[in-house]
Structure 1
Amino acid sequence: MTDLRLGIIGFGLRSSLARWAHRPGEGSVVTFVCDDDERGRRDALERVPGVAVTGRLDDLLGSHRDEIDAVLVLTPDHLHTEHAVRTLEAGLPTFLEKPVATTIEGADRILAAAYRTGTRLYVGHNMRHMPVITAMREVIQRGTIGQVRAIWCRHFVSAGGDYYFKDWHADRRNTTGLLLQKGAHDIDIIHWLAGGYTERVSAIGSLSIYGDITDRRDNSDRRMWDWYSLDNWPPTAQRELHPIVDVEDISMANLLIEGGVLASYQQCHFTPDYWRNYTVIGTRGRVENFGDGPGSKVKVWTTRTDAYREDADEVITIPAADDAGHGGADPLLIAEFVRFARDGGPTMTSPVAARMSVAAGVAATVSLRSGGSAVVVPPLDPDVLAWFERSQAPV
């Protein structure tokens, strides 16, 4: 089988995916990288043997278009709409890093471009491939806990000060807010486990810690791994934050999901530990994860007791694995995209679901910044929705 030739647009924080995309002789090879930053181009030359680089997207989609079969868009969030629309209009099957966009309008433009051109679009919601999440979904799918009625997600982000408040993420013009940027993952998984999308949402939140830190620096000459350290603790001791910090560092959203499922999502960026805890309660029991990477456990309770029972009725241990990135999901994510770009067909991730997670995140942010009142999530254009359901029904 001939390797699928891949281009990468943006060789920054998610350039780790190149490790799985560049597999000469195994199905895919990265032939071209486009990054307008000299450091990104230099990193690509060092890490991807034989790759060609350019600083101009016009080159990649113009004179070099025939040298690639598909493309990975890994640029900062606020550039997704511009870049993805262009790659889709160029007829290139497109992997788009999550969130699909930072606005509902931007997400709708991207999906409409795929619909209009008939080009394959894949959104990198890698958590749908995480073994701990797939184990929880399998418990739900086989009916062990009955019909899902409630979902709670607590997201502890110990690295928040390093990951989101020292670079472009801290400026809401680039992200809308972390309820969208960071929450898009979790909202998508809440929807996936619930079997429906958010219809209405209300939220509260604040900039509780990082807004008070006055030590600021323009870090555009650096990358996250230049400053990340476990020694950056406690959160109030963080230094060299982005000059603009106007996104919330703690937020809580309540979601009303199709079918009457109630969900709650909490996100905090100054906790001492880093993991997600999902609790799903059904009409016959509940399932909960303890840890979210290799070696974590999924516990299922289906017998009534009068106290907490640690051993549970069923315990699923997620096998330990080599560090594959993002809880073991990244290689599965890229493998599915390569197959989809080549052959089409159903996928575990969904552009429609990606749009709906953005829409819920935007609505939650609007609610948060307007006193917490309920905000209705606007639906996707029915013609676009029908096209994706016909051409790329999710697994």
Structure 2
Amino acid sequence: MTDLRIGVIGYGLRAPLVAHAHQPGRGSAVVAVADPRPERRELAESTFGAFTTPDADELLKADLDAVFVLSPDHLHVEHALAAFDAGIPVYLEKPLAITVADADLILARARSSGVKVYIGHNMRHMSVVRTMRKLILDGAIGEVQAVWCRHFVGHGGDYYFKDWHAERAKGTGLLLQKGAHDLDVIHWLAGGYTRRVNAMGALSVYGRVTDRLASPQYKTGHDWDEYRGNWPPLAQTGLNPVIDVEDLSMVNMALDNGVLASYQQCHFTPDYWRNYTVIGTEGRLENIGDTPGSSVHVWNRRHRGYAEPDVVVRIPEAEGGHGGADPRIVAEFLGFVRAGGATLTSPVAAREAVATGCAATESLRAGGVVVDVPALAEELVAYYERGQVE
């Protein structure tokens, strides 16, 4: 098998992901990396022996078979369109874009250029999500009627408020940037897409922190040993000079299939995990922890008051980042580049997560008014449901 020649645009926080694509002699190799920061280019060159450049356009001339676009969110549209123009299949990190118009433009241009696009919603490959979805498909709780997600972002002040994530201009808001994962999972578990939202939120804590960086910086990783002493949240230091996004948000959603859902996100909790509750016509399930070795609990008999679960399903052990999701999603993308076919991730679903996040942010900033979520053009839905085949 000839190795696929892989390029990378943006060698920052998601840099560990592309290590799974560097398997010289076994199907793929990272041969080119573009990043504006000299230290990141040096790291990529020493890690992969790759050609490096500060210029994404220069990278796209490097005879590539596929490219990972891992740049900051506001650059996704620019880099994806350039790759389409170069005829190179794209792995585009979530969120697809930071506006609905740009998300729709990306999907339309991918179709018109005939170039494959794959969106990096890796939570569809996480063991906890796969476990919950299998239980739902197996009928463990009947027909889904409600999905609730509480997202405790314990390191929000250590990361998301110390770089570009804190700026509306570069990400719209954390209800989209961080919530895109969960909005997609809610849709997947519920079997439908959001068509109407209302939301509330605030910059409750980090707007009060006055210790700021003199100029914006880019975080390139998470370091628990560094974060451990950063408590309480109001004692944080070195925050981004611009902070105009919310650190607390809540959104209610009405889906096209009648399911009701809610998503709650807080960036100043002492713990960091996601808790999903899915309620059906014959029971409910809930994950207790979201890492391998944790569990999903199912209640599907009548009980009076609190009761121990009727069924406990352990989340399988898995190797690799994000509960085994990272190696799985890279393998799926590379297989899609080679042979096409169905994938767990979905460009349409990725667009619907962006549309929901944008509508929710609009509602939040307008005082909680109800906002309709626009649907994707039917011809684009059909194209992507066919597996990107005309």
TM range (shorter): over 0.9
Unmatched segments (≥5 aa) in structure 2: none
Q: Return the letter of the residue paired with 2:144.
A: V
Aligned counterpart for 2:297 among listed residues 296, 299, 306: 299
Name the stretch that deviates more: 182-191 or 17-26.
17-26
1:107-131 CA-partner distances (Å, limit 9, x unpaired): 0111011110111110000000001
Question: How far 1:71 moved relative to its partner?
Answer: 0.5
Residues 159 and 222, structure 2, Cα contact 8 Å, conserved in 1: no
Q: Match of 1:335? A: 331
Q: Return the letter of the residue paired with 1:43.
A: L
Q: Which runs of 4+ in 1 moved over 3 A?
A: 218-222, 224-228
Q: Indicate the SS of the match to 1:391.
A: coil
Question: How far 1:239 moved relative to its partner?
Answer: 0.5
Q: Indicate the SS of the match to 2:337.
A: helix
Q: Match of 2:271? A: 273
Q: Return the letter of the residue paired with 2:380.
A: V
1:329-360 CA-partner distances (Å, limit 9, x unpaired): 00001000000011101000001100000000
Question: How far 1:58 moved relative to its partner?
Answer: 2.1
Q: Indicate the SS of the match to 1:115.
A: helix
Q: Match of 2:12? A: 12
Q: Which TM-score applies when normalising by structure 1?
A: 0.95
Residues 195 and 255, structure 2, Cα contact 8 Å, conserved in 1: yes
- Distance in 2 (CA, whole Å) between partners of 1:188 and 1:334 is 18
Q: Match of 1:233? A: 231
Q: Indicate the SS of the match to 1:190.
A: helix
Q: Match of 1:28? A: 28
Q: Return the letter of the residue paired with 2:80.
A: A
1:41-78 CA-partner distances (Å, limit 9, x unpaired): 11211222x2111111221223x2x2x10000000000
Say whether residues 1:386 and 2:385 are aligned partners. Answer: no
Q: Which TM-score applies when normalising by structure 2?
A: 0.97
Q: Return the letter of the residue paired with 2:251.
A: A
Aligned counterpart for 1:88 among listed residues 70, 84, 88: 84
Say whether residues 1:313 and 2:313 are aligned partners. Answer: no
The number of residue pairs the alignment matches comes to 387
Return closer, same or farther for 1:332/1:159 CA change in 2, 3 Å cut-off. same
Q: Return the letter of the residue paired with 1:85.
A: L
Q: Match of 1:40? A: 40
1:284-313 CA-partner distances (Å, limit 9, x unpaired): 001110111111101111101002222x12
1:1-395 aligned within 5 A: 1-48=1-48, 50-62=49-61, 64=62, 66=63, 68-218=64-214, 220-221=216-217, 223-225=219-221, 228-310=226-308, 312-322=309-319, 324-392=320-388
Residues 249 and 269, structure 1, Cα contact 8 Å, conserved in 2: yes
Q: Return the letter of the residue paired with 2:350.
A: A
Unmatched segments (≥5 aa) in structure 1: none
- Distance in 2 (CA, whole Å) between partners of 1:121 and 1:221 is 29
Q: Return the letter of the residue paired with 1:96.
A: L
Name the stretch that deviates more: 224-233 or 3-12.
224-233
- Distance in 2 (CA, whole Å) between partners of 1:221 and 1:251 is 25
**% same residue:** 58
